[in-house]
Amino acid sequence: MSAVLEIQGLEKTYRSRKGVRKALDGFDMVVEAGQVHGFLGPNGSGKTTTLRTLLGLIKPNGGRMSILGREVPQALPEVIGAIGAIVESPQFFANFTAQETLSLLAEAGGVDQARVTEVFELVGLRDRAKDRVKTYSLGMKQRLAVASALLKNPTLLILDEPANGLDPGGIREMRTLMRNLADVGMTVVVSSHILGEIQLICDSVTIISAGRRVAAGTVADVLAQHQAASVRVRVESPGDLAAAADTLREIGAQVVVEPDHLLVSGVAQPGAITRALAAGDVFVSELAPVAVDLESVFLELTGTTPVEGVYRQIDESVTAPATPNGGWGQ
């Protein structure tokens, strides 16, 4: 596999009359060919800034980037034909029909008109293509945007929050579409907040927090690296839970007592739990590793786990140490 997209040490500082804001602080990212890659991070962490910088829409203050093996922004004119992108909501002329919109874009880009029909079919807008864009719902506009990005059958498709405004059925269709595109060799980079969805479709992910990479790799690897080594323990008689907790603490375990089970960590071998409890005449009815999901890893790594009574403010996510040699994940 080769890297379709590579970013090293990307820096971006916005300067305005209000002051200076460091949006990217030595950000790294690698995306291999043919993958669906999830680009995840809390609001304001730098996702859109990264994508806009990649596409030459804003200038970085440092670092390097390559797309399809060519350094960008210098070589952007050579690779731009192979990139389809929607970064934040694109604007279309409200009075044009969707069909007119894409036909014009196809004409401007030297794309065959037959492809227009094809992309409407792909994004599920076939029967509404003749409607004016101003009559479109948010989700339909989002689909139209994806259709426009697919027109030139790109090698690399970059989608910033494509699930925005889509209903659950639409999200599922978008998921299938991205998977199908990757299966025929397209590389798809998708930023999203809907982590359950990402977990289902992505081969690999990059998690960004406060302008730096905090995790990267396959979904399985990222989960495995952050798998809390805790097990859920149920006992035959729930009345024994408190005593069981005491017994386990005596062998050095950390125990959280829940109404109908214990959460136990700090024990190297689960067998030690069964043995210790059986010795005290308490019998285990369930012993199961607690699975972590991408959402809990994301919340932990970005420091955005909700805390009761605290209204978390934008910019309060966690900053990772800079890793100039790309020491995280892959």
Ligand X SMILES: Nc1ncnc2c1ncn2[C@@H]1O[C@H](COP(=O)(O)OP(=O)(O)OP(=O)(O)O)[C@@H](O)[C@H]1O
- Which residues lie near Mg ion (CB under 5 A)? 47-48
Q: Which one of Mg ion, ligand X, none is in contact with 113 (Cβ closer than 5 to 8 A by kind)?
A: none
Q: What is the dihedral of CA 152, 155, 159, 165, to 10 degrees?
A: 60
Nearest approach in angstroms of CB 272 to Mg ion is 47
Residue 318, phi then psi, degrees to nearest 5: -80, 145
Q: Whole-number minimum distance, CB 235 to ligand X, in Å?
A: 44
Give the nearer residue to ligand X in terms of CB position, either 49 or 148: 49
From the list ligand X, Mg ion, none, partner contacted by residue 23 (C-beta under 5 to 8 A by kind): ligand X
Q: Which of 278, 269, 270, 271 is nearest to 244 (CA)?
A: 278
Tell me if 96 contacts ligand X by CB under 6 A: no
Q: Are 248 and 276 in contact (CB under 8 A)?
A: yes
Q: Tell me whether residue 190 or residue 282 sits nearer to ligand X (CB atom).
A: 190
3-state secondary structure (DSSP) of residue 244: helix
Nearer to Mg ion, 191 or 247 (CB): 191
Residue 21 near ligand X by CB under 6 A? yes
Say how far residue 328 (Cα) sits from the centre of its chain: 16
Nearest-CA neighbor of 60 among 83, 29, 105?
29
CB of 39 to Mg ion, least distance (A): 10
Cα 146 to Cα 92: distance, rounded to the nearest angstrom: 12
Which residue matches tokens 């192979």? Answer: 82
Q: Is residue 209 near ligand X by the rule CB under 6 A? A: no
In terms of CB distance, is 17 or 185 closer to ligand X?
17
Please state, as a whole number, how many other Cβ atoms lie within 10 Å of the Cβ of residue 260. Answer: 10
Least separation, in Å, of the C-beta of 123 and Mg ion? Answer: 21
- Please select the residue that binds ligand X; options are 5, 7, 23, 201, rule is CB under 6 A: 23
Give which of Mg ion, ligand X, none residue 14 binds (C-beta under 5 to 8 Å, depending on kind): ligand X
Q: Work out what residue 53 binds among ligand X, Mg ion, none; the CB cut-off runs from 5 to 8 Å by kind.
A: none
CB 98 within 8 A of CB 131: yes
Q: In terms of CB distance, is 6 or 161 closer to ligand X?
A: 161
Residue nearest to Mg ion (CB): 48
How many residues in total does the chain contain? Answer: 330
Q: Which is nearer to ligand X, 47 or 261 (CB)?
A: 47
Residues 116, 108: contact at Cβ < 8 Å?
A: no
207-216 burial string, b = 16+ CB within 10 Å, else e? Answer: bbbbbbbbbb
Sheet containing 70-72: order of strands = 19-32, 3-16, 62-67, 70-72
Residues 32-61, mask of contacts with ligand X (x by CB under 6 A): ---------x-xxxxxxx------------
194 vs 241: CA distance, rounded Å: 36
Residue 270 interacts with ligand X (CB under 6 A): yes or no: no
Nearer to ligand X, 44 or 90 (CB): 44
**Which positions lie near ligand X, rule CB under 6 A?**
14, 16, 21, 23, 41, 43-49
